[in-house]
Amino acid sequence: MTESAVLFLQGPLGPFFKRLARTFSRAGYTTHKINFNGGDRLFSWANVQTHYNGKPADWADFLERYLTEHRIEAVFLLGDCRYYHRTAKPVCDALGVQFCVFEEGYLRPDTITLESGGVNALSQMDLSHESLEKAMLCSAKSIQTIGGTMRQRTGYAALYYWASFFSKGEFSQYRHHRATHPVKEGFYWLRGFVRKWLFKSYDRQMQFRLDNEFDQRFYLVPLQVHDDSQMIFHSPYESVKAFIQEVMVSFWKHADSNKVLCFKHHPMDRGYTEYGQFIEDLATNLGIQDRVLYCHDIPLPDLYRHTCGVVTVNSSVGISALLHHLPTKVMGRALYDIEGITHQGSLESFWKNPEPVDRHLFKQLHSCLFQKTQINGSFFKYLTLTCNNSLSFYEKRLKPTSTFRPSEQDPCLIPEQAESLRSSYSGAA
């Protein structure tokens, strides 16, 4: 039995962190949970629970004291770009606390991601060619197939946002990373389901054209969720529309006249945004209305079989495209944007002469990611399996060799670090 203590901050919508805390507790850990709103509290469990009601600007000082007082060895959270989480990172680093970040799986659909220090473009992994050459090749296949999770996501989201709404007075200082009004969220989700039904016939027709008329002649551009951290923090674009415009103008100027551009809407953003009219107007203005297409729910594997290349900001869709050996151009910052794997030249050169995927090098990257960052499971299904696998992964790969034991004489954050934390919030959206 261990005497270690671990802390959970904000996790996925639903009971995953509750179940994970119970799993760690049964393994002998003392578990702690800090809740920031009523939704967090609804899905919360730990040996010790605390509600943070303070101002965002005071969060770093509060966390530093909490980690020291309770001798926390590791902090678990979902996503490293939310204000409370990105503020926690330098605090953990200063105190020697392991900063463990969960994220949707890099190699979906049957995995989730867990890394120390950061995920996506903030990953701390060494992915240099020298490091990848040492990677042990593996099949990179998960044992348990997960399947769809939309029903669970929808139910958990509704419960979370209503709980947050009814506890606003208690957590009046809290600032969420996206809108939290349950009526608005419910409307967006409902509109998404309606649009999915309305676009079915259109998408079937579009898929037939892509499979036959435009086979091997179209470039696929998968769009991302408009307020995803990948867009906000790891791309040069102020909006998805700005990305669409840059790609379309470049395609108009430099792509061969027999090539076609196909934008695919993100399924999780269907109820929030719709770019059809914007794309149509811009294509008309550029005189390429017959060469620009827009679809919604055509399965990606079906599109991969017929496309000649993929352009993405930094989505994990890029990894699946590379898995199909498709030339891929990354327009933002992504951990898989590596020479020999993705196109390293300009977007202009991509239209003319896309760099091929070094299949062996990508196999090394794929194996490395699978072994070092991926856990078979889901945040929304097979929770017992996922929690057991997460505990095993942590103890095998991330658990500190010595437990954090600060004393009263241990230094707190130096003034420069504290000032940096305050500055990061003052400039945050």
DSSP per residue over 301-359, as a string?
HHHHTTEEEEEESS-THHHHHHHTT--EEESS--TT--BTTB--S-HHHHHHSPPPP-H
Mean pLDDT of 168-196: 83
Q: CA angle 7-406-58, nearest 5°?
A: 55
pLDDT given at position 275: 96
Q: In 10 A of CB 295, how many CB atoms? A: 20
5-40 pLDDT tens trace = 999 999 999 999 999 999 999 999 999 999 999 999
Q: Are β-strands 328-330 and 111-116 bridged in parallel, bridged antiparallel, or unpaired?
A: unpaired
Find out whether 312 and 247 touch, Cβ atoms under 8 Å: no
pLDDT given at position 229: 87
pLDDT given at position 119: 96
Assigned token pair, 9: 């901050």
pLDDT given at position 404: 47
Share of the chain above pLDDT 70, in %: 92
- Is the pLDDT confidence value at 381 over 80? yes
pLDDT category of residue 414 using cuts at 50, 70 and 90: very low
HEC readout, 219-244: EEEECCCCCCHHHHHCCCCCCHHHHH
State the Cα torsion 40-44-47-51 to the nearest 10°: 20
329-354 pLDDT tens trace = 999 999 999 999 999 999 999 999 99
Does an H or E element contain 132, and which? helix 129-132
Mean pLDDT of 285-295: 97
130-169 pLDDT tens trace = 999 998 999 888 999 999 998 999 899 999 999 999 999 9
209-259 pLDDT tens trace = 999 999 999 999 999 999 888 899 999 999 999 999 999 999 999 999 999
Find out whether 96 and 116 touch, Cβ atoms under 8 Å: no
- Is the pLDDT confidence value at 427 over 60? no
Cα–Cα dist 224/299, whole Å:
15
pLDDT given at position 401: 82
Q: What is the number of helices (H) and of strands (E) in the chain?
A: 17, 12
Which distant-in-sequence residues (6+ apart) come within 8 Å of 368 by Cβ?
A: 125, 127, 131, 132, 135
The mean pLDDT value of the chain amounts to 91
pLDDT category of residue 175 using cuts at 50, 70 and 90: confident
pLDDT category of residue 181 using cuts at 50, 70 and 90: confident
| Domains defined for the chain, CATH in brackets | 209-368 (3.40.50)
pLDDT given at position 2: 52
Least confident piece of the model among 127-131, 198-202, 211-215, 406-410? 406-410
81-113 pLDDT tens trace = 999 999 999 999 999 999 999 999 999 999 999
Phi, psi of 35 (to 5 degrees): -105, 140
Residue recorded with tokens 């977007």:
347
Instruction: Tell me the pTM.
Output: 0.88
